[in-house]
Amino acid sequence: MRLSGRQFARYSRHLLMDDIGVDGQDRLLNSHILIVGMGGLGCPAALYLAAAGIGRMTVCDADVVADSNLHRQILYRQGDVGEFKVDCAKRALQEVNADLVVQAYAQSVSAEILDGDYQLVLDCTDNLAARGLLNRHCRASRLPLVSASAIGWEGQLLAFDFVRQQSPCFNCSITQSKPEAATELAEDCSSAGVLGPVLGVMGSLQATTAIAMILGYFQQHGELQRYDGKSGRWMNVTLSTNPNCQLCCGSKVDV
Protein backbone atom coordinates (compact mmCIF):
# COMPACT_ATOMS: atom_id res chain seq x y z
CA MET A 1 0.00 0.00 0.00
CA ARG A 2 1.35 3.44 -0.95
CA LEU A 3 0.81 6.17 1.66
CA SER A 4 -1.20 9.16 0.49
CA GLY A 5 -0.18 12.73 1.26
CA ARG A 6 -2.85 12.90 3.95
CA GLN A 7 -1.56 9.67 5.50
CA PHE A 8 2.00 11.02 5.51
CA ALA A 9 0.73 13.97 7.56
CA ARG A 10 -1.48 11.86 9.83
CA TYR A 11 1.21 9.31 10.72
CA SER A 12 4.17 11.70 10.61
CA ARG A 13 5.19 10.95 14.21
CA HIS A 14 5.41 7.25 13.36
CA LEU A 15 7.30 7.97 10.16
CA LEU A 16 9.92 9.91 12.11
CA MET A 17 10.73 6.79 14.16
CA ASP A 18 13.52 4.68 12.68
CA ASP A 19 11.90 1.48 13.96
CA ILE A 20 8.52 2.24 12.33
CA GLY A 21 8.98 4.50 9.30
CA VAL A 22 7.11 4.03 6.03
CA ASP A 23 7.55 0.25 5.96
CA GLY A 24 6.25 -0.17 9.49
CA GLN A 25 3.29 2.11 8.91
CA ASP A 26 2.49 0.22 5.75
CA ARG A 27 2.49 -3.00 7.77
CA LEU A 28 0.01 -1.50 10.26
CA LEU A 29 -2.25 -0.29 7.46
CA ASN A 30 -2.34 -3.81 6.02
CA SER A 31 -3.10 -5.51 9.35
CA HIS A 32 -6.38 -7.04 10.47
CA ILE A 33 -7.02 -7.36 14.23
CA LEU A 34 -9.84 -9.15 16.05
CA ILE A 35 -10.95 -7.56 19.34
CA VAL A 36 -13.16 -9.78 21.49
CA GLY A 37 -14.98 -7.71 24.10
CA MET A 38 -15.74 -4.00 23.65
CA GLY A 39 -15.84 -3.01 27.31
CA GLY A 40 -13.34 -1.24 29.53
CA LEU A 41 -10.34 -2.90 27.85
CA GLY A 42 -11.58 -3.11 24.28
CA CYS A 43 -12.54 0.58 24.11
CA PRO A 44 -9.09 2.12 24.78
CA ALA A 45 -7.30 -0.65 22.89
CA ALA A 46 -9.46 -0.18 19.80
CA LEU A 47 -9.24 3.60 20.01
CA TYR A 48 -5.44 3.65 20.02
CA LEU A 49 -5.18 0.99 17.31
CA ALA A 50 -7.59 2.89 15.08
CA ALA A 51 -5.63 6.11 15.59
CA ALA A 52 -2.34 4.30 14.93
CA GLY A 53 -3.48 3.23 11.48
CA ILE A 54 -4.54 -0.40 11.78
CA GLY A 55 -6.28 -1.00 8.47
CA ARG A 56 -8.98 -3.51 9.42
CA MET A 57 -10.62 -4.33 12.72
CA THR A 58 -13.25 -6.90 13.65
CA VAL A 59 -15.04 -6.24 16.95
CA CYS A 60 -17.17 -8.77 18.79
CA ASP A 61 -19.47 -8.24 21.80
CA ALA A 62 -23.06 -9.27 22.50
CA ASP A 63 -23.83 -6.55 25.06
CA VAL A 64 -25.62 -3.21 24.79
CA VAL A 65 -24.35 0.01 26.36
CA ALA A 66 -25.59 0.58 29.92
CA ASP A 67 -25.29 3.56 32.25
CA SER A 68 -22.92 1.55 34.44
CA ASN A 69 -20.47 1.22 31.52
CA LEU A 70 -19.90 4.93 31.03
CA HIS A 71 -17.38 5.48 33.83
CA ARG A 72 -14.78 3.33 32.05
CA GLN A 73 -15.85 2.42 28.48
CA ILE A 74 -14.58 5.54 26.80
CA LEU A 75 -15.93 5.02 23.28
CA TYR A 76 -19.54 5.40 24.43
CA ARG A 77 -21.70 8.43 25.24
CA GLN A 78 -24.92 8.92 27.21
CA GLY A 79 -26.94 8.79 24.02
CA ASP A 80 -25.56 5.33 23.19
CA VAL A 81 -27.28 3.65 26.15
CA GLY A 82 -29.43 0.77 24.90
CA GLU A 83 -27.55 0.32 21.61
CA PHE A 84 -25.23 -2.57 20.80
CA LYS A 85 -21.70 -1.76 21.90
CA VAL A 86 -20.19 -2.94 18.62
CA ASP A 87 -22.42 -0.64 16.57
CA CYS A 88 -21.50 2.37 18.72
CA ALA A 89 -17.84 1.37 18.66
CA LYS A 90 -17.80 1.05 14.88
CA ARG A 91 -19.30 4.51 14.50
CA ALA A 92 -16.89 6.09 16.99
CA LEU A 93 -13.79 4.38 15.59
CA GLN A 94 -14.55 5.41 12.03
CA GLU A 95 -14.96 8.99 13.23
CA VAL A 96 -11.42 8.73 14.59
CA ASN A 97 -10.08 7.24 11.35
CA ALA A 98 -12.29 7.22 8.26
CA ASP A 99 -9.88 4.83 6.48
CA LEU A 100 -10.46 2.10 9.06
CA VAL A 101 -12.59 -0.85 7.91
CA VAL A 102 -14.63 -2.23 10.82
CA GLN A 103 -16.62 -5.47 10.88
CA ALA A 104 -18.97 -5.61 13.88
CA TYR A 105 -20.51 -8.76 15.42
CA ALA A 106 -23.19 -8.17 18.06
CA GLN A 107 -22.74 -11.67 19.48
CA SER A 108 -20.42 -13.74 21.63
CA VAL A 109 -17.23 -15.00 20.06
CA SER A 110 -17.64 -18.21 18.07
CA ALA A 111 -15.65 -20.53 15.83
CA GLU A 112 -17.17 -18.78 12.82
CA ILE A 113 -15.97 -15.36 13.95
CA LEU A 114 -12.51 -16.74 14.73
CA ASP A 115 -12.25 -18.09 11.19
CA GLY A 116 -10.89 -14.87 9.70
CA ASP A 117 -7.69 -13.56 8.15
CA TYR A 118 -6.45 -11.90 11.34
CA GLN A 119 -2.85 -11.06 12.12
CA LEU A 120 -3.58 -10.87 15.87
CA VAL A 121 -6.33 -11.34 18.49
CA LEU A 122 -6.98 -9.08 21.50
CA ASP A 123 -8.72 -10.78 24.40
CA CYS A 124 -10.64 -7.99 26.14
CA THR A 125 -13.30 -10.23 27.68
CA ASP A 126 -14.34 -10.76 31.29
CA ASN A 127 -15.35 -14.37 30.66
CA LEU A 128 -13.07 -17.30 31.48
CA ALA A 129 -14.78 -19.63 28.98
CA ALA A 130 -14.20 -17.13 26.15
CA ARG A 131 -10.57 -16.74 27.20
CA GLY A 132 -10.16 -20.51 27.01
CA LEU A 133 -11.66 -20.60 23.51
CA LEU A 134 -9.35 -17.81 22.31
CA ASN A 135 -6.33 -19.51 23.87
CA ARG A 136 -7.09 -22.84 22.19
CA HIS A 137 -7.79 -21.27 18.81
CA CYS A 138 -4.78 -18.97 18.76
CA ARG A 139 -2.38 -21.67 19.90
CA ALA A 140 -3.70 -24.16 17.33
CA SER A 141 -3.70 -21.53 14.56
CA ARG A 142 -0.32 -20.04 15.55
CA LEU A 143 -1.96 -16.65 15.93
CA PRO A 144 -0.64 -13.99 18.36
CA LEU A 145 -2.86 -13.38 21.40
CA VAL A 146 -2.83 -10.39 23.76
CA SER A 147 -4.97 -10.92 26.87
CA ALA A 148 -5.66 -8.46 29.70
CA SER A 149 -7.92 -8.11 32.73
CA ALA A 150 -8.53 -5.68 35.59
CA ILE A 151 -10.26 -5.80 38.96
CA GLY A 152 -10.31 -3.06 41.59
CA TRP A 153 -6.98 -1.20 41.44
CA GLU A 154 -5.08 -4.01 39.70
CA GLY A 155 -4.60 -5.10 36.11
CA GLN A 156 -2.65 -7.81 34.36
CA LEU A 157 -1.53 -8.55 30.83
CA LEU A 158 -0.31 -11.72 29.14
CA ALA A 159 0.79 -11.93 25.52
CA PHE A 160 1.69 -14.95 23.43
CA ASP A 161 3.49 -14.96 20.10
CA PHE A 162 2.27 -18.36 18.95
CA VAL A 163 3.74 -17.68 15.50
CA ARG A 164 7.22 -18.31 16.94
CA GLN A 165 6.54 -20.24 20.15
CA GLN A 166 3.94 -22.74 21.31
CA SER A 167 4.47 -22.85 25.07
CA PRO A 168 3.50 -21.65 27.58
CA CYS A 169 -0.11 -20.65 26.86
CA PHE A 170 -2.82 -18.76 28.75
CA ASN A 171 -3.97 -21.91 30.53
CA CYS A 172 -0.46 -22.41 31.93
CA SER A 173 -0.64 -18.97 33.53
CA ILE A 174 -3.69 -19.56 35.73
CA THR A 175 -1.92 -21.68 38.34
CA GLN A 176 1.48 -19.99 38.09
CA SER A 177 0.85 -16.25 38.48
CA LYS A 178 -0.25 -16.60 42.14
CA PRO A 179 -2.59 -18.95 44.03
CA GLU A 180 -5.68 -16.75 43.77
CA ALA A 181 -5.23 -16.07 40.04
CA ALA A 182 -7.95 -18.48 38.93
CA THR A 183 -10.44 -16.84 41.30
CA GLU A 184 -9.51 -13.35 40.06
CA LEU A 185 -9.94 -14.36 36.42
CA ALA A 186 -13.38 -15.80 37.19
CA GLU A 187 -14.50 -12.49 38.71
CA ASP A 188 -15.62 -9.49 36.71
CA CYS A 189 -16.05 -5.82 37.51
CA SER A 190 -19.82 -6.20 37.94
CA SER A 191 -19.20 -8.25 41.08
CA ALA A 192 -15.86 -6.88 42.33
CA GLY A 193 -15.72 -3.31 40.99
CA VAL A 194 -12.92 -1.64 39.06
CA LEU A 195 -11.27 1.77 38.78
CA GLY A 196 -11.89 3.07 35.25
CA PRO A 197 -8.38 4.42 34.51
CA VAL A 198 -6.81 1.05 35.39
CA LEU A 199 -8.68 -0.41 32.43
CA GLY A 200 -7.34 2.45 30.33
CA VAL A 201 -3.79 1.57 31.37
CA MET A 202 -4.21 -2.10 30.49
CA GLY A 203 -6.12 -1.47 27.25
CA SER A 204 -3.44 0.98 26.13
CA LEU A 205 -0.79 -1.61 26.98
CA GLN A 206 -2.67 -4.16 24.88
CA ALA A 207 -2.60 -1.75 21.92
CA THR A 208 1.12 -1.07 22.41
CA THR A 209 1.87 -4.79 22.63
CA ALA A 210 -0.20 -5.51 19.52
CA ILE A 211 1.71 -2.90 17.51
CA ALA A 212 5.04 -4.29 18.76
CA MET A 213 3.95 -7.76 17.66
CA ILE A 214 2.87 -6.62 14.20
CA LEU A 215 6.16 -4.77 13.70
CA GLY A 216 8.22 -7.74 14.91
CA TYR A 217 9.58 -6.28 18.16
CA PHE A 218 7.74 -8.41 20.71
CA GLN A 219 9.94 -10.61 22.92
CA GLN A 220 7.86 -11.26 26.07
CA HIS A 221 6.06 -14.51 25.16
CA GLY A 222 4.30 -15.82 28.25
CA GLU A 223 5.43 -12.97 30.51
CA LEU A 224 2.83 -11.83 33.04
CA GLN A 225 2.73 -8.09 33.70
CA ARG A 226 0.81 -7.04 36.80
CA TYR A 227 -0.05 -3.42 37.62
CA ASP A 228 -1.09 -2.09 41.03
CA GLY A 229 -2.67 1.30 40.49
CA LYS A 230 -2.90 2.09 44.21
CA SER A 231 0.85 1.75 44.77
CA GLY A 232 1.86 2.68 41.22
CA ARG A 233 4.00 -0.45 40.90
CA TRP A 234 4.54 -3.06 38.21
CA MET A 235 5.58 -6.69 38.61
CA ASN A 236 6.72 -8.94 35.76
CA VAL A 237 6.81 -12.74 36.04
CA THR A 238 8.10 -15.03 33.28
CA LEU A 239 5.92 -18.13 33.12
CA SER A 240 6.97 -21.62 32.15
CA THR A 241 4.97 -24.48 30.68
CA ASN A 242 2.54 -26.02 33.17
CA PRO A 243 3.04 -29.83 33.18
CA ASN A 244 -0.72 -30.19 33.80
CA CYS A 245 -1.72 -28.11 30.77
CA GLN A 246 -3.77 -30.12 28.30
CA LEU A 247 -2.66 -28.02 25.34
CA CYS A 248 1.06 -27.78 26.09
CA CYS A 249 1.69 -31.18 27.68
CA GLY A 250 -1.22 -33.34 26.57
CA SER A 251 -2.65 -34.17 30.00
CA LYS A 252 -6.40 -34.31 30.55
CA VAL A 253 -7.05 -30.91 32.08
CA ASP A 254 -9.88 -28.65 30.92
CA VAL A 255 -8.90 -25.27 29.48
Active-site residue numbers? 189
The DSSP line for the chain is: -PPPHHHHHHTHHHHTSTTTHHHHHHHHHT-EEEEE--STTHHHHHHHHHHHT-SEEEEE---B--GGGTTT-TT--GGGTTSBHHHHHHHHHHHH-TT-EEEEE-S---HHHHSS--SEEEE--S-HHHHHHHHHHHHHHT--EEEEEEEBTEEEEEEE-TTT---S-HHHHHTTS-TTHHHHHH--HHHH-B-HHHHHHHHHHHHHHHHHHHHT----TTEEEEEETTTTEEEEEE----TT-HHHH--S---
